[in-house]
Chain A
Amino acid sequence: MPSTMRCEIVSAEREMFSGKVTMVVASGAVGDLGILPHHTPLLTSLQPGPVRVQLDDGTEELFYVNGGYLEVQPKEVTILADVAERVEEMDEQAAEAARVAAREALEGKNKDMDYSAAAAQLAESLAQLRTIEHLRRKGGRGGK
Protein backbone atom coordinates (compact mmCIF):
# COMPACT_ATOMS: atom_id res chain seq x y z
CA MET A 1 0.00 0.00 0.00
CA PRO A 2 1.72 3.17 -1.15
CA SER A 3 1.36 6.24 1.03
CA THR A 4 -1.27 8.61 -0.23
CA MET A 5 -2.52 12.13 0.24
CA ARG A 6 -5.78 13.89 -0.48
CA CYS A 7 -6.00 15.90 -3.65
CA GLU A 8 -8.67 18.42 -4.59
CA ILE A 9 -8.91 20.17 -7.90
CA VAL A 10 -11.54 22.87 -7.91
CA SER A 11 -12.39 25.65 -10.31
CA ALA A 12 -14.64 28.60 -9.55
CA GLU A 13 -17.54 26.95 -11.34
CA ARG A 14 -17.24 23.36 -10.11
CA GLU A 15 -15.29 20.64 -8.37
CA MET A 16 -13.16 18.67 -10.81
CA PHE A 17 -11.49 16.04 -8.73
CA SER A 18 -11.36 14.90 -5.15
CA GLY A 19 -9.71 11.75 -3.89
CA LYS A 20 -6.64 9.92 -2.70
CA VAL A 21 -3.56 10.16 -4.86
CA THR A 22 0.06 9.09 -4.72
CA MET A 23 1.49 11.84 -6.88
CA VAL A 24 0.52 15.16 -8.43
CA VAL A 25 2.41 16.73 -11.31
CA ALA A 26 1.64 20.32 -12.27
CA SER A 27 3.34 23.18 -14.05
CA GLY A 28 4.15 25.84 -11.51
CA ALA A 29 5.20 29.42 -12.10
CA VAL A 30 8.89 28.54 -11.95
CA GLY A 31 8.75 25.11 -13.54
CA ASP A 32 7.06 21.74 -13.45
CA LEU A 33 6.76 20.15 -10.07
CA GLY A 34 5.92 16.67 -8.88
CA ILE A 35 4.51 16.33 -5.40
CA LEU A 36 4.59 13.19 -3.30
CA PRO A 37 2.95 12.69 0.10
CA HIS A 38 4.58 14.43 3.08
CA HIS A 39 5.86 17.26 0.99
CA THR A 40 6.70 20.38 2.96
CA PRO A 41 4.07 23.16 2.79
CA LEU A 42 4.30 25.00 -0.49
CA LEU A 43 2.36 27.68 -2.25
CA THR A 44 2.77 28.50 -5.89
CA SER A 45 0.87 29.93 -8.77
CA LEU A 46 0.24 27.73 -11.79
CA GLN A 47 0.85 28.29 -15.44
CA PRO A 48 -1.69 27.15 -17.99
CA GLY A 49 -0.93 23.50 -18.57
CA PRO A 50 -1.64 19.90 -17.71
CA VAL A 51 -2.07 18.57 -14.20
CA ARG A 52 -1.46 14.87 -13.81
CA VAL A 53 -2.63 12.95 -10.77
CA GLN A 54 -1.68 9.37 -10.00
CA LEU A 55 -4.38 7.51 -8.12
CA ASP A 56 -3.56 4.93 -5.49
CA ASP A 57 -4.62 2.09 -7.81
CA GLY A 58 -1.90 3.10 -10.25
CA THR A 59 -4.11 4.75 -12.87
CA GLU A 60 -3.59 8.30 -13.94
CA GLU A 61 -5.94 11.17 -14.58
CA LEU A 62 -5.15 14.22 -16.61
CA PHE A 63 -6.60 17.69 -16.25
CA TYR A 64 -6.02 20.99 -17.88
CA VAL A 65 -5.85 24.12 -15.79
CA ASN A 66 -5.77 27.62 -17.10
CA GLY A 67 -3.69 29.14 -14.34
CA GLY A 68 -4.48 29.24 -10.66
CA TYR A 69 -2.88 28.34 -7.36
CA LEU A 70 -1.46 25.22 -5.83
CA GLU A 71 -1.25 24.68 -2.11
CA VAL A 72 0.63 21.76 -0.60
CA GLN A 73 0.16 20.56 2.93
CA PRO A 74 1.87 17.34 4.09
CA LYS A 75 -1.27 15.23 3.57
CA GLU A 76 -3.19 17.38 1.19
CA VAL A 77 -2.82 19.08 -2.17
CA THR A 78 -5.30 21.73 -3.23
CA ILE A 79 -5.42 23.15 -6.72
CA LEU A 80 -7.48 26.30 -7.09
CA ALA A 81 -7.82 26.58 -10.81
CA ASP A 82 -9.19 29.59 -12.65
CA VAL A 83 -10.63 27.31 -15.28
CA ALA A 84 -10.14 23.56 -15.22
CA GLU A 85 -11.17 20.91 -17.67
CA ARG A 86 -10.98 17.19 -17.85
CA VAL A 87 -8.80 16.46 -20.81
CA GLU A 88 -11.32 14.00 -22.25
CA GLU A 89 -13.80 16.88 -22.48
CA MET A 90 -11.40 19.19 -24.22
CA ASP A 91 -11.93 20.11 -27.80
CA GLU A 92 -8.76 19.88 -29.80
CA GLN A 93 -10.14 21.73 -32.78
CA ALA A 94 -11.25 24.63 -30.65
CA ALA A 95 -7.80 24.83 -29.09
CA GLU A 96 -6.16 24.72 -32.51
CA ALA A 97 -8.47 27.43 -33.83
CA ALA A 98 -7.70 29.60 -30.82
CA ARG A 99 -3.99 29.09 -31.38
CA VAL A 100 -4.23 30.11 -35.02
CA ALA A 101 -6.34 33.14 -34.14
CA ALA A 102 -3.89 34.25 -31.49
CA ARG A 103 -0.89 33.81 -33.77
CA GLU A 104 -2.56 35.79 -36.53
CA ALA A 105 -3.35 38.55 -34.09
CA LEU A 106 0.25 38.58 -32.91
CA GLU A 107 1.57 38.82 -36.43
CA GLY A 108 -0.30 42.04 -36.79
CA LYS A 109 -3.11 41.14 -39.15
CA ASN A 110 -5.27 43.25 -36.92
CA LYS A 111 -3.39 46.24 -35.56
CA ASP A 112 -5.96 47.11 -32.93
CA MET A 113 -5.44 43.83 -31.14
CA ASP A 114 -4.10 43.99 -27.62
CA TYR A 115 -0.66 42.40 -27.76
CA SER A 116 -0.54 41.05 -24.24
CA ALA A 117 -4.02 39.58 -24.50
CA ALA A 118 -3.08 37.82 -27.70
CA ALA A 119 0.15 36.49 -26.21
CA ALA A 120 -1.74 35.16 -23.20
CA GLN A 121 -4.29 33.52 -25.45
CA LEU A 122 -1.55 31.93 -27.52
CA ALA A 123 0.18 30.56 -24.45
CA GLU A 124 -3.12 29.18 -23.24
CA SER A 125 -4.06 27.40 -26.41
CA LEU A 126 -0.54 26.00 -26.76
CA ALA A 127 -0.80 24.65 -23.24
CA GLN A 128 -4.12 23.05 -24.10
CA LEU A 129 -2.67 21.42 -27.17
CA ARG A 130 0.29 20.23 -25.14
CA THR A 131 -2.09 18.60 -22.68
CA ILE A 132 -4.05 16.87 -25.43
CA GLU A 133 -0.81 15.69 -27.00
CA HIS A 134 0.24 14.26 -23.68
CA LEU A 135 -3.00 12.33 -23.39
CA ARG A 136 -2.68 11.00 -26.91
CA ARG A 137 0.84 9.70 -26.31
CA LYS A 138 -0.31 7.96 -23.19
CA GLY A 139 -3.33 6.49 -24.98
CA GLY A 140 -1.16 5.26 -27.87
CA ARG A 141 1.17 3.42 -25.55
CA GLY A 142 -1.46 1.81 -23.39
CA GLY A 143 -4.24 1.21 -25.93
CA LYS A 144 -2.65 -0.19 -29.09
Chain B
Amino acid sequence: MAGGKEIRTKISSIQNTRKITGAMEMVAASKMRKANQRMAESKPYATRIRQVVAHMAGAAQDYEHPYLQEREEVKRVAYIVVSSDRGLCGGLNGNLFKRVIRENKHWQKEGVEIDYCVIGNKALSFFRSVGGNVVASTTGLEDAPSVVDLVGNIHVVLDAFKEGTLDRVYVVYNEFVNTMTQQPVVHQLLPLPPAEDDRDTQFRWDYIYEPTPEGLVDGLLTRFIESQVYQSVVENKACEQAARMVAMKAATDNAGNLIDELELIYNKERQAAITQEISEIVSGAAAV
Protein backbone atom coordinates (compact mmCIF):
# COMPACT_ATOMS: atom_id res chain seq x y z
CA MET B 1 0.00 0.00 0.00
CA ALA B 2 2.35 2.62 -1.34
CA GLY B 3 0.52 5.95 -1.55
CA GLY B 4 -2.01 5.20 1.20
CA LYS B 5 -0.34 7.14 3.95
CA GLU B 6 0.34 10.14 1.74
CA ILE B 7 -3.25 10.26 0.57
CA ARG B 8 -4.53 10.14 4.15
CA THR B 9 -2.32 13.07 5.17
CA LYS B 10 -3.47 15.00 2.18
CA ILE B 11 -7.12 14.34 3.00
CA SER B 12 -6.71 15.44 6.57
CA SER B 13 -4.91 18.60 5.53
CA ILE B 14 -7.71 19.46 3.11
CA GLN B 15 -10.23 18.74 5.82
CA ASN B 16 -8.50 21.30 8.01
CA THR B 17 -8.57 23.84 5.21
CA ARG B 18 -12.25 23.17 4.72
CA LYS B 19 -12.90 23.78 8.38
CA ILE B 20 -11.15 27.13 8.18
CA THR B 21 -12.88 28.28 5.02
CA GLY B 22 -16.21 27.15 6.45
CA ALA B 23 -15.60 29.20 9.58
CA MET B 24 -14.55 32.20 7.51
CA GLU B 25 -17.70 31.90 5.47
CA MET B 26 -19.84 32.02 8.57
CA VAL B 27 -17.92 34.95 10.03
CA ALA B 28 -18.23 36.84 6.74
CA ALA B 29 -21.96 36.12 6.62
CA SER B 30 -22.55 37.59 10.05
CA LYS B 31 -20.27 40.56 9.34
CA MET B 32 -22.06 41.15 6.09
CA ARG B 33 -25.38 41.39 7.90
CA LYS B 34 -23.96 44.04 10.17
CA ALA B 35 -22.26 45.89 7.33
CA ASN B 36 -25.50 45.90 5.38
CA GLN B 37 -27.33 47.33 8.33
CA ARG B 38 -24.70 50.03 8.70
CA MET B 39 -25.04 50.83 5.03
CA ALA B 40 -28.81 51.19 5.42
CA GLU B 41 -28.45 53.34 8.52
CA SER B 42 -26.11 55.81 6.93
CA LYS B 43 -28.25 56.14 3.83
CA PRO B 44 -30.81 58.64 5.22
CA TYR B 45 -28.08 61.16 5.95
CA ALA B 46 -26.59 60.78 2.50
CA THR B 47 -29.98 61.21 0.81
CA ARG B 48 -30.94 64.17 2.97
CA ILE B 49 -27.69 66.01 2.49
CA ARG B 50 -27.90 65.38 -1.23
CA GLN B 51 -31.35 66.98 -1.22
CA VAL B 52 -30.18 69.97 0.75
CA VAL B 53 -27.19 70.44 -1.54
CA ALA B 54 -29.47 70.14 -4.56
CA HIS B 55 -31.76 72.81 -3.07
CA MET B 56 -28.78 74.96 -2.37
CA ALA B 57 -27.43 74.63 -5.89
CA GLY B 58 -30.89 75.61 -7.12
CA ALA B 59 -31.05 78.70 -4.93
CA ALA B 60 -30.25 81.94 -6.71
CA GLN B 61 -27.12 82.90 -4.88
CA ASP B 62 -24.82 85.72 -5.71
CA TYR B 63 -21.96 83.62 -4.55
CA GLU B 64 -20.73 80.52 -6.33
CA HIS B 65 -18.57 78.10 -4.45
CA PRO B 66 -15.43 76.70 -6.16
CA TYR B 67 -16.72 73.14 -5.63
CA LEU B 68 -19.55 73.88 -8.01
CA GLN B 69 -17.50 75.45 -10.78
CA GLU B 70 -16.52 73.33 -13.73
CA ARG B 71 -12.91 73.96 -14.81
CA GLU B 72 -12.34 74.51 -18.49
CA GLU B 73 -9.05 72.74 -18.72
CA VAL B 74 -8.35 69.51 -16.88
CA LYS B 75 -4.70 69.04 -16.07
CA ARG B 76 -4.69 66.87 -13.00
CA VAL B 77 -7.32 64.58 -11.56
CA ALA B 78 -7.49 62.58 -8.37
CA TYR B 79 -9.05 59.24 -7.66
CA ILE B 80 -10.12 58.20 -4.21
CA VAL B 81 -9.82 54.43 -4.41
CA VAL B 82 -11.74 52.52 -1.77
CA SER B 83 -10.49 48.95 -1.34
CA SER B 84 -10.51 46.35 1.38
CA ASP B 85 -7.77 45.86 3.94
CA ARG B 86 -7.65 42.11 3.57
CA GLY B 87 -7.69 39.67 0.72
CA LEU B 88 -9.51 36.35 0.31
CA CYS B 89 -12.51 38.06 -1.13
CA GLY B 90 -12.51 36.82 -4.69
CA GLY B 91 -12.06 39.26 -7.52
CA LEU B 92 -13.44 42.21 -5.60
CA ASN B 93 -10.29 44.33 -5.45
CA GLY B 94 -8.94 43.03 -8.73
CA ASN B 95 -11.99 44.16 -10.64
CA LEU B 96 -11.87 47.53 -8.96
CA PHE B 97 -8.22 48.10 -9.90
CA LYS B 98 -8.92 47.00 -13.45
CA ARG B 99 -11.58 49.65 -13.62
CA VAL B 100 -9.17 52.27 -12.30
CA ILE B 101 -6.52 51.30 -14.83
CA ARG B 102 -9.06 51.61 -17.62
CA GLU B 103 -9.98 55.12 -16.50
CA ASN B 104 -6.32 55.80 -16.22
CA LYS B 105 -5.56 55.01 -19.83
CA HIS B 106 -8.20 57.43 -20.97
CA TRP B 107 -6.60 60.26 -18.99
CA GLN B 108 -3.08 59.35 -20.02
CA LYS B 109 -4.08 59.66 -23.65
CA GLU B 110 -5.05 63.25 -22.98
CA GLY B 111 -1.87 63.92 -21.05
CA VAL B 112 -3.63 64.43 -17.73
CA GLU B 113 -1.77 63.63 -14.56
CA ILE B 114 -3.35 61.45 -11.93
CA ASP B 115 -3.14 61.43 -8.15
CA TYR B 116 -4.40 58.61 -6.01
CA CYS B 117 -5.82 58.82 -2.58
CA VAL B 118 -6.17 55.29 -1.31
CA ILE B 119 -8.29 53.74 1.39
CA GLY B 120 -7.46 50.18 2.39
CA ASN B 121 -4.28 48.11 2.39
CA LYS B 122 -4.94 46.37 -0.89
CA ALA B 123 -5.08 49.56 -2.90
CA LEU B 124 -1.95 50.84 -1.22
CA SER B 125 0.09 47.76 -2.08
CA PHE B 126 -1.39 47.69 -5.58
CA PHE B 127 -0.29 51.23 -6.38
CA ARG B 128 3.03 50.64 -4.72
CA SER B 129 3.76 47.79 -7.11
CA VAL B 130 2.18 49.31 -10.22
CA GLY B 131 3.50 52.77 -9.55
CA GLY B 132 1.23 55.73 -9.16
CA ASN B 133 1.32 59.01 -7.36
CA VAL B 134 -0.29 58.19 -4.02
CA VAL B 135 -0.91 61.43 -2.15
CA ALA B 136 -2.76 60.10 0.87
CA SER B 137 -3.68 56.76 2.36
CA THR B 138 -5.79 55.38 5.14
CA THR B 139 -5.48 51.75 6.12
CA GLY B 140 -6.67 49.50 8.88
CA LEU B 141 -10.20 50.83 9.11
CA GLU B 142 -12.45 49.04 11.54
CA ASP B 143 -15.56 47.17 10.53
CA ALA B 144 -17.55 50.16 11.71
CA PRO B 145 -15.56 53.02 10.20
CA SER B 146 -16.22 56.51 11.45
CA VAL B 147 -16.21 59.66 9.37
CA VAL B 148 -13.38 60.99 11.52
CA ASP B 149 -11.02 58.29 10.20
CA LEU B 150 -11.56 59.47 6.64
CA VAL B 151 -11.49 63.21 7.14
CA GLY B 152 -7.72 63.59 6.79
CA ASN B 153 -7.67 61.73 3.53
CA ILE B 154 -10.55 63.71 2.09
CA HIS B 155 -9.10 67.04 3.09
CA VAL B 156 -5.85 66.42 1.26
CA VAL B 157 -7.89 66.20 -1.91
CA LEU B 158 -10.27 69.03 -1.08
CA ASP B 159 -7.43 71.41 -0.27
CA ALA B 160 -5.64 70.57 -3.50
CA PHE B 161 -8.86 71.18 -5.40
CA LYS B 162 -9.39 74.53 -3.73
CA GLU B 163 -5.84 75.61 -4.51
CA GLY B 164 -6.42 74.70 -8.11
CA THR B 165 -3.81 71.95 -8.39
CA LEU B 166 -6.57 69.38 -8.93
CA ASP B 167 -9.29 69.88 -11.48
CA ARG B 168 -11.43 66.85 -10.88
CA VAL B 169 -11.94 64.32 -8.14
CA TYR B 170 -13.50 60.90 -8.49
CA VAL B 171 -14.28 58.20 -6.02
CA VAL B 172 -14.04 54.52 -7.00
CA TYR B 173 -15.62 51.78 -4.94
CA ASN B 174 -17.65 48.62 -5.22
CA GLU B 175 -21.38 49.02 -5.40
CA PHE B 176 -23.43 46.48 -3.52
CA VAL B 177 -25.90 45.12 -6.05
CA ASN B 178 -26.75 41.97 -4.12
CA THR B 179 -24.91 39.30 -2.20
CA MET B 180 -23.69 37.61 -5.35
CA THR B 181 -22.89 40.70 -7.38
CA GLN B 182 -20.66 43.65 -6.60
CA GLN B 183 -19.84 46.18 -9.22
CA PRO B 184 -16.98 48.68 -9.35
CA VAL B 185 -18.34 52.18 -9.94
CA VAL B 186 -16.74 55.57 -10.50
CA HIS B 187 -18.48 58.72 -9.27
CA GLN B 188 -17.43 62.26 -9.83
CA LEU B 189 -17.11 64.10 -6.53
CA LEU B 190 -15.71 67.45 -7.60
CA PRO B 191 -16.81 69.67 -9.15
CA LEU B 192 -20.24 68.55 -8.03
CA PRO B 193 -22.21 67.30 -10.98
CA PRO B 194 -25.47 69.23 -11.44
CA ALA B 195 -28.28 67.74 -9.37
CA GLU B 196 -31.21 65.95 -10.93
CA ASP B 197 -33.67 67.43 -8.48
CA ASP B 198 -34.80 70.61 -10.19
CA ARG B 199 -38.19 71.35 -8.72
CA ASP B 200 -38.86 74.91 -7.57
CA THR B 201 -36.33 76.27 -10.00
CA GLN B 202 -38.87 78.39 -11.81
CA PHE B 203 -38.83 80.77 -8.85
CA ARG B 204 -35.88 82.88 -7.95
CA TRP B 205 -35.45 82.27 -4.30
CA ASP B 206 -32.62 82.17 -1.86
CA TYR B 207 -32.05 81.11 1.68
CA ILE B 208 -31.68 83.28 4.69
CA TYR B 209 -28.15 82.42 5.73
CA GLU B 210 -27.11 82.48 9.32
CA PRO B 211 -24.40 83.65 9.71
CA THR B 212 -22.87 83.98 6.19
CA PRO B 213 -23.45 82.15 2.91
CA GLU B 214 -19.72 81.57 2.31
CA GLY B 215 -19.10 79.72 5.53
CA LEU B 216 -22.30 77.74 5.39
CA VAL B 217 -22.02 76.64 1.79
CA ASP B 218 -18.42 75.66 2.28
CA GLY B 219 -19.18 73.71 5.43
CA LEU B 220 -22.16 71.99 3.95
CA LEU B 221 -20.40 71.00 0.75
CA THR B 222 -17.44 69.67 2.69
CA ARG B 223 -19.81 67.68 4.85
CA PHE B 224 -21.51 66.41 1.70
CA ILE B 225 -18.26 65.17 0.18
CA GLU B 226 -17.34 63.52 3.45
CA SER B 227 -20.66 61.79 3.62
CA GLN B 228 -20.30 60.57 0.03
CA VAL B 229 -16.90 59.08 0.75
CA TYR B 230 -18.10 57.62 4.03
CA GLN B 231 -21.05 56.07 2.25
CA SER B 232 -18.78 54.49 -0.35
CA VAL B 233 -16.47 53.11 2.33
CA VAL B 234 -19.40 51.59 4.19
CA GLU B 235 -20.78 50.15 0.99
CA ASN B 236 -17.39 48.74 0.05
CA LYS B 237 -17.19 47.05 3.45
CA ALA B 238 -20.50 45.35 2.82
CA CYS B 239 -19.24 44.26 -0.60
CA GLU B 240 -16.04 42.92 0.90
CA GLN B 241 -17.90 40.71 3.34
CA ALA B 242 -20.33 39.51 0.70
CA ALA B 243 -17.53 38.71 -1.73
CA ARG B 244 -15.60 36.93 0.99
CA MET B 245 -18.62 34.91 1.95
CA VAL B 246 -19.15 33.79 -1.64
CA ALA B 247 -15.45 33.07 -2.18
CA MET B 248 -15.22 31.05 1.02
CA LYS B 249 -18.35 29.12 0.19
CA ALA B 250 -16.82 28.18 -3.16
CA ALA B 251 -13.58 27.20 -1.41
CA THR B 252 -15.46 25.04 1.07
CA ASP B 253 -17.36 23.31 -1.72
CA ASN B 254 -14.19 22.73 -3.70
CA ALA B 255 -12.45 21.28 -0.67
CA GLY B 256 -15.39 18.90 -0.25
CA ASN B 257 -15.10 17.74 -3.86
CA LEU B 258 -11.38 17.28 -3.52
CA ILE B 259 -11.84 15.18 -0.39
CA ASP B 260 -14.40 12.98 -2.14
CA GLU B 261 -12.03 12.37 -5.03
CA LEU B 262 -9.10 11.62 -2.79
CA GLU B 263 -11.18 9.28 -0.67
CA LEU B 264 -12.11 7.34 -3.82
CA ILE B 265 -8.47 7.05 -4.81
CA TYR B 266 -7.54 6.03 -1.29
CA ASN B 267 -10.17 3.29 -1.24
CA LYS B 268 -9.12 1.98 -4.62
CA GLU B 269 -5.56 1.88 -3.43
CA ARG B 270 -6.57 0.09 -0.26
CA GLN B 271 -8.60 -2.50 -2.12
CA ALA B 272 -5.84 -3.06 -4.61
CA ALA B 273 -3.45 -3.65 -1.73
CA ILE B 274 -5.80 -6.16 -0.09
CA THR B 275 -6.42 -8.00 -3.35
CA GLN B 276 -2.71 -8.20 -3.93
CA GLU B 277 -2.07 -9.53 -0.45
CA ILE B 278 -4.78 -12.19 -0.82
CA SER B 279 -3.48 -13.30 -4.18
CA GLU B 280 0.02 -13.48 -2.72
CA ILE B 281 -1.22 -15.68 0.14
CA VAL B 282 -3.28 -17.86 -2.19
CA SER B 283 -0.46 -18.30 -4.65
CA GLY B 284 1.91 -18.94 -1.74
CA ALA B 285 -0.46 -21.66 -0.40
CA ALA B 286 -0.80 -23.19 -3.85
CA ALA B 287 2.94 -23.42 -4.19
CA VAL B 288 3.22 -25.40 -0.96
Contact = CB atoms under 8 A, between A and B. Distances in A.
A21 B48 CA distance: 18
A103 to B, nearest CB: 24
B56 interface: yes
B41 A71 contact: no
A10 B56 contact: no
Interface residues of B, number: 27
Contacts, number: 74
Contact of A80 (B42, B48, B207): B48
Contacts of B147: 12
B131 interface: no
A interface, how many residues as a size bin? 20 to 34
Interface stretch (A38-46, A94-102, A116-124): A38-46
For the residues of B in contact with A, the DSSP-based class is helix
Interface string B192-236: 000000000000011111110001100110010001001000000
Given A28-B210, A30-B210, A69-B52, A45 B45 contact: no
A30 B211 contact: yes
Contacts of A18: 44
Q: Closest 4 CB pairs between A and B?
A: A44-B210, A15-B44, A43-B207, A14-B41
18 contacts: A10-B45, A12-B42, A12-B147, A12-B227, A14-B42, A29-B211, A30-B210, A41-B55, A41-B207, A42-B208, A45-B215, A69-B52, A69-B216, A69-B220, A71-B52, A71-B55, A80-B48, A80-B223
Interface of B: 38, 41-42, 44-45, 48-49, 51-52, 55-56, 59, 147, 205-211, 215-216, 219-220, 223, 227, 230
